[in-house]
Structure 1
Amino acid sequence: MKRLTFIFLMSVFSIQAQVVKKEIPADYGYIVKIGQQAPDFSTVSADGKAIQLSDFKGKVVMLQFTASWCGVCRKEMPHIEKDIWQKHKGNPDFALFGIDLDEPLEKVKKFAEQIPVSYSLLLDPEGKIFYSYAEKGAGVTRNVIIDKEGKIVYMTRLYKEEEFNEMKAVIDKLLEN
């Protein structure tokens, strides 16, 4: 039994080592780090559902920080919808939330329709969620990937195709294990 536990733990560490390769530049403006437990939060979705991040432990979670006034967000969101959400939305081990920075409910709903996206957009009044991940004054176009243990494994800033493709590969790898 001890040998099986050891083999299992070694395979988990091997998987994490394969996934976590990226050094996050200081100018990305994050206050969280790769390998740290993701800051918990609770809020409501644009369709009125109560959401608490810790309720999703055991799933791979993607947090996409956004706002309707953000041009880069508008460029990236169709890619998230098509290349990530449509691919994984049926997977019970995956969750994706767009977190809209400090905008009223009606604006968030209209934003989701304009893009359009079908993944849940969450309300972040006063930016409390955003500022538990990023510095004050940091830009919103960013993604955080959280593993099944609730640890941050990957983070992006702005929309860069190479980085976006790396993020998709990280999500795929986490979901295949």
Structure 2
Amino acid sequence: MKKLSAILLLCFATLFSNAQQIDTTTRTKVGDLSPNFSFNISKDKVVSLSDYRGKIVVLDFFATWCPPCRLELPRVQKEIWEKYKADPKFALFAFDREENWDKLLPFKQKNHFSFPMVPDMGRVIFSLYASQSIPRLIVIDEKGKIIYQSIGYTEKDFSELLALLADKLK
């Protein structure tokens, strides 16, 4: 009986310790107001996230060398950008958290991506949301509130994102 009690105690301790693990890489949570920031939408034009209030905004943080990012980005192009780019209530920005325009633009052209891709040298914007882990997708509602976040790339998460966008942009 003592062995059984010890085993059960160990099982419960393991269960509760796993339940208490917290993602320490994420600095924002669903329900938070998104941090505001400015960024170069092109080499010569600066915009602010607050300029897009009133829209559903998708932020995609990636790196050109990241294998899961390379799986996700074509789906962003085909299933999100091509579907919603003409919707006046929608905006999407993909932030390359590693490289500058000189590397980013050839990557964009080579892969036939037409959605806005901008550099985030030094992870300045990325660090407002997280300390590590990409790809990372964030959706911000019309009032500036974060309504979705994902880390990494899975079919399940991407399907949830598509369902959320379909609901918000009907």
1:91 and 2:94 correspond = no
Q: Is the 8 A contact 2:40 2:46 kept in 1?
A: yes
Residue in 1 that maps onto 2:78: 82
Q: Is the 8 A contact 1:34 1:154 kept in 2?
A: yes
One-letter amino acid of the structure 2 residue matched with residue 166 of structure 1: E
Residue in 1 that maps onto 2:161: 167
Q: Can you list the C-alpha shifts for 1:91-142, whole angstroms capped at 9, x where unaligned?
A: 000000001103121101011122221000122121110001002xx12211
Partners in 1 of 2:75 and 2:44 — Cα distance? 25
1:144 and 2:138 correspond = yes
Residue in 1 that maps onto 2:40: 44
Q: Is the 8 A contact 1:63 1:143 kept in 2?
A: yes
Report percent identity of matched pairs: 37
Aligned counterpart for 2:23 among listed residues 24, 27, 39: 27
Structure 2 residue runs without a partner (length 5+): 1-20
One-letter amino acid of the structure 1 residue matched with residue 55 of structure 2: K
Structure 1 residue runs without a partner (length 5+): 1-24
Q: Is the 8 A contact 1:61 1:95 kept in 2?
A: yes
Partners in 1 of 2:45 and 2:24 — Cα distance? 31
One-letter amino acid of the structure 2 residue matched with residue 62 of structure 1: V
Aligned length: 150
Residue in 2 that maps onto 1:104: 100
Report the TM-score, using the length of structure 1 for normalisation.
0.80
Partners in 2 of 1:121 and 1:44 — Cα distance? 10
One-letter amino acid of the structure 1 residue matched with residue 63 of structure 2: A
Partners in 2 of 1:45 and 1:69 — Cα distance? 22
Aligned counterpart for 2:117 among listed residues 121, 126, 148: 121
Q: After TM superposition, list the pairs within 5 Å mapping 1:1-16 onto structure 2.
A: none
